[in-house]
Amino acid sequence: MKPFDYLAPADAAEAVRSVAANPDAVFLGGGTNLVDHLKLGVAEPGLVVGLAGLLPSGIEELDDGALRIGAGVSNSDLAADPRVRERFPVLSQALLSGASGQLRNMATVGGNPLQRTRCVYFQDVTTPCNKREPGSGCSAIGGWTRHHAVLGTSEHCIAVHPSDMAVAMAALDARVRTLGPAGERAIPFVELHRLPGDAPERDTALEHGELITAIDLPAQPIARRSAYRKVRDRASYAFALVSVAAAIEVEGGVIRDARIAFGGVAHVPWRARRAEEALRGAPASDGSYRAAADAELTDARPAEGLDGGNAFKIPLLRRTLTATLRDLAGEDPR
Ligand SMILES: Cc1cc2nc3c(=O)[nH]c(=O)nc-3n(C[C@H](O)[C@H](O)[C@H](O)COP(=O)(O)OP(=O)(O)OC[C@H]3O[C@@H](n4cnc5c(N)ncnc54)[C@H](O)[C@@H]3O)c2cc1C
Ligand code: SF4
């Protein structure tokens, strides 16, 4: 591991100043992703700025019914919060489907959406990777692609975003609150992550030195009837091959409204607006759910690969969305 300096700042403002002033500096949240990258040589910062104790670590109820989740809240505490379990079950389920109890105890709400791709080539410093080393090439294209993207890919990168929590946040219209060198701002969660395009080294819309301080979850009655379904190679301790975050409102056998996001299929948590549009006003039936999946997957482009490629993700996602919506539509949320 390359040696680095460590700073424990007095407050969030000092943390931002320290990272913003140094292109070679990074924030350290719970460390469950960054420390692995330090050990692997994927990240080689000159300065690591610790966030322990600097960020809000509570969940606040706002006047408009929204929940403000401090960036220092652990993934375990967020999943267990009774308000989250009751009003946003999809979020609690997404968190509990990720990592392990010990990791969730350490992982923070600020660090979780900024965890980096699990693409094996990104994590192997002996192989070319445009995300790790811009311009070096993409080893996944024509390589092992089972875990890679089918939506929003580019000729420079076909990696997927790994966070389960982020998929639920994308479906729930969350907003990310930040403190950066230019002050505070709020970013719609669906605009936090970016598609790879010709700059896959940039995962998000955040500036260097911009700190996530909280995530706001707006009040949404629809989210009480919501769920997260994750399909993976093992029953636990594995990342999603595909996942679905869904919330649905059904009246008299007709879908009035829906919120859908997909995980494991794109460089971003993929908000499925075409699927939502197809569902509104449709009968609550498997035919409608399959049609919604097809509407969203029209532009899907699977990758061939040494391992047989990832075309299987398209029917798998269609079935996963159908099963999730069927369960939700049949369930009485009260
Ligand atoms: C074995 C294993 C299995 C896992 N399985 C899953 C899984 O199934 N699903 C899943 O979703 N996740 C999984 N994870 C990933 C885990 O959820 C993430 O590592 C964790 O959420 C990251 O949070 P952290 O606070 O530890 O971030 P860190 O590792 O501290 O930081 C991650 C990144 O975010 C930056 N950062 C941290 N906090 C902030 C902030 N407040 N503002 C701005 N930048 C910040 C850091 O600089 C770094 O770049 C797994 C991890 C491991 C090791
Ligand atoms: S898919 Fe992206 S992260 Fe993976 S090797 Fe290619 S450029 Fe790197």
Q: pLDDT digit string (tens) for 272-329?
A: 999 999 999 999 999 999 999 999 999 999 999 999 999 999 999 999 999 999 999 9
Ligand 2 mean position to 210 CA, how many Å?
24
Predicted local distance difference test score (pLDDT) of residue 331 = 54
Nearest ligand to the C-alpha atom of residue 234: 1
Three-class DSSP category at 224: helix
Residue 97: CB within 6 Å of ligand 2?
no
Ligand 2 mean position to 156 CA, how many Å?
7
Predicted local distance difference test score (pLDDT) of residue 236 = 86
Residue 163: CB within 6 Å of ligand 1?
yes
Residue 200: CB within 6 Å of ligand 2?
yes
Average pLDDT over residues 253-263: 98
- Whose alpha carbon is nearest atom 4 of ligand 1? 99
Average pLDDT over residues 78-104: 98
Spatial separation of the C-alpha atoms in residues 328 and 228, rounded to whole Å? 10
- Whose alpha carbon is nearest atom 8 of ligand 2? 129
Predicted local distance difference test score (pLDDT) of residue 315 = 98
| H or E, element range at 323 | helix 313-329
* Phi, psi of 49, rounded to the nearest 5 degrees: -110, 110
Beta pairing partners, 177: 186, 214
Nearest to residue 294, comparing CAs of 311, 272, 270, 267? 272
Average pLDDT over residues 195-221: 98
Instruction: Give the tokens for residue 129.
Output: 């990777």
Instruction: State the CB neighbour count (10 A cutoff) for residue 50.
Output: 15
For 228-239, how does the pLDDT look when each residue is reduced to its tens digit (9 = 90+)?
A: 999 999 988 899
- Whose alpha carbon is nearest atom 31 of ligand 1? 111
Predicted local distance difference test score (pLDDT) of residue 177 = 98
Side by side, the strands of the sheet bearing 59-61 are 59-61, 67-70, 211-217, 175-180, 183-188
Range name among 45-54, 71-80, 177-186, 324-333 with the lowest pLDDT average: 324-333
Ligand 1 mean position to 112 CA, how many Å?
4
Nearest to residue 146, comparing CAs of 320, 306, 279, 280? 306
Q: Which residue matches tokens 């996602």?
A: 317
Residue 333 has pLDDT above 70, yes or no: no
Residue 222 has pLDDT above 60, yes or no: yes
Chain centroid, CA 71 distance in Å? 15
Spatial separation of the C-alpha atoms in residues 289 and 234, rounded to whole Å? 26
Nearest ligand to the C-alpha atom of residue 49: 1
For 10-47, how does the pLDDT look when each residue is reduced to its tens digit (9 = 90+)?
A: 999 999 999 999 999 999 999 999 999 999 999 999 99
Percent of the chain topping pLDDT 70: 99
User: HSE (CB half, 13 Å, CA atoms) of 180?
Assistant: 13
Q: Which residues lie closer than 8 Å to 195 by C-beta, 6 or more apart?
A: 152, 154, 266, 267, 268
Q: How far is CA 180 from CA 12, 25, 58, in A?
A: 10, 14, 21
For 111-158, how does the pLDDT look when each residue is reduced to its tens digit (9 = 90+)?
A: 999 999 999 999 999 999 999 999 999 999 999 999 999 999 999 999
Report the chain's mean pLDDT, rounded to a whole number: 97
